[in-house]
Amino acid sequence: MLECGPEIVALKLGEEGSCIYTREEKLKVPSFPVNEIDPTGAGDCFDAAFIAGLLKGWSIKRVAKFANAVGALAVTKRGPMEGAPYLREVEKMVGLGQAR
């Protein structure tokens, strides 16, 4: 897929985490264990978090870990928007402290 032009390919694997591919590296990033209630919207939350991390200039590994946490928290509530977490919830799960 990278041969078709994108610089980054993120493959979401649900409870298995994610795989991130760039021209320089391949990462398998584990998921966070949560009690899944409803997966609706989790992929959108992952995507938004991934893009936000890239825009902040974070490393690919940090971006993927952050996006995995956001996606994981998103499935803990019923509904497509209700599970979208607050930043402090994600920071607590990931152990990032204040996101920079």
Residues annotated as catalytic are 44
H-helix or E-strand spanning residue 10: strand 8-12
Beta bridge partners of 27: 20
Given a contact cutoff of 8 angstroms between Cβ atoms, the answer to whether 23 and 2 are in contact is yes
Cα angle at 15 between 96 and 9, to 5 degrees?
75
* Helices and strands, counts by H and E, the chain: 3, 3
Main-chain dihedrals φ then ψ at residue 48, nearest 5 degrees: -60, -45
